A and B are shown apart, each in its own frame.
Chain A
Amino acid sequence: MTIQVFFLAFFGGAAVWFGVVVFRTHSMVRSALALLFSQTAIGGMFLVMQAEFLGVLQIMMMATEMSVMAIFMVMFMMDPGGMGAMDMTHQKRLSLWAGAVGFAVALAAVVLGQWGPVALEVPSAEAQIEMLGIELMERSMFIFQSAGLTILTAMVAATMVALAPLKHGGKDDL
């Protein structure tokens, strides 16, 4: 077993384990932290797979995203600390079956699929970033700009949805 296989399995196992912890703990803050660790482990997998830029991006992005999520958890949950051990689940059996069947089908595709020859060499990190930059500024520019515009639209829409409604007849009524 090469060291790459070991670390791939290690980070992958950590990602799945913390993913399970997200839904097993009663504390919502712990849930958010478990998801942060899971996403960070996925970033570690990217680094093992020699996608350095994507790995660092994943870790940085998810660290901020999950911190925001933890704040929302504390704001909105009835029992954010999990001291009351409230059960906040429904249709558990159906969900378990759906998750298990989804996993089994995907795993069957992984095992039975004919994946063809596997590449041994990967471009260096510098070469990857250079090629990705050129790709973003040339062929994929429209897609990249569309993604940016979509995020901007979502931010504006989310802010508008979240704003308190104006009182009709008051001085704020426009």
Chain B
Amino acid sequence: MIYELQIALAIGAALFGVGLYGALSQTNLVMIIMGVELILAAALVNLVAFWRYLHPEVIPAQMFVLIIMAVMAVEMAVGFGIAIARFRSRGSVEMEEARELKG
């Protein structure tokens, strides 16, 4: 049974690594959003695994999953809002061309 927990957590770790690679390596804003989605998906997997294998009687753990899902939706809405604004003003969502945003 302990292996199931470790398998689920290892999958979460792999999703986190892939998402981190994607978020850092992509130049397109939509692809960066995809990387962040994978990182948040890793958090979801870990939360559900901890709930299932360690504390299945603690239902507020599922509440955290709903909050992460809300964060995913918010991240997409704001990301696409910025993408549309950027596309209108510059005609591209390539982040290589967004150097003027650098502080």
Contacts from A to B (Cβ < 8 Å): 4-5, 8-9, 12-13, 15-16, 19-20, 22-23, 28, 31-32, 35, 38-39, 42, 45-46, 49-51, 53-54, 57-58, 61, 65, 68-69, 72-73, 75-78, 88-92, 94-96, 98-100, 102-104, 106-107, 109-111, 115-116, 118-123, 128, 131-132, 135-136, 139-140, 143-144, 147-148, 150-151, 154-155, 157-162, 164
Q: Quick one: closest A residue to B62, CB to CB?
A: A132
Which among A4, A13, A107, A122 has the highest number of chain B CB atoms within 10 Å? Answer: A107
Contact call A88/B18, Cβ cutoff below 8 A:
no
Contact call B25/A90, Cβ cutoff below 8 A:
yes
A88 touching B49 in the complex, CB below 8 Å, given contacts A16-B14, A150-B74:
no
Q: Quick one: closest A residue to B96, CB to CB?
A: A90
Contact call B54/A73, Cβ cutoff below 8 A:
no
Contact call B13/A119, Cβ cutoff below 8 A:
no
Report how many A-B pairs have Cβ atoms within 8 Å. Answer: 244
A143 proximity list for chain B (CB < 8 A):
63, 67
Q: How far is the CA of A54 from the CA of B47 in the complex (A)?
A: 11
Contact call A161/B72, Cβ cutoff below 8 A:
no
Contact call B8/A12, Cβ cutoff below 8 A:
yes
B66 proximity list for chain A (CB < 8 A):
57, 144, 147
Contact call A158/B77, Cβ cutoff below 8 A:
yes
- Closest Cβ–Cβ distance, residue A54 to chain B (whole Å): 5
Q: How far is the CA of A76 from the CA of B85 in the complex (A)?
A: 11
* Interface residue B101 (Cβ < 8 Å from any Cβ of A): no
Q: How far is the CA of A147 from the CA of B38 in the complex (A)?
A: 20
Contact call B78/A51, Cβ cutoff below 8 A:
no
- Closest Cβ–Cβ distance, residue A47 to chain B (whole Å): 10
Contact call B48/A54, Cβ cutoff below 8 A:
yes
Q: How far is the CA of A99 from the CA of B33 in the complex (A)?
A: 16
- Closest Cβ–Cβ distance, residue A49 to chain B (whole Å): 4
Partner of A88, one of B28, B63, B74: B28
Contact call A128/B59, Cβ cutoff below 8 A:
yes
A136 touching B63 in the complex, CB below 8 Å, given contacts A115-B2, A161-B84:
yes
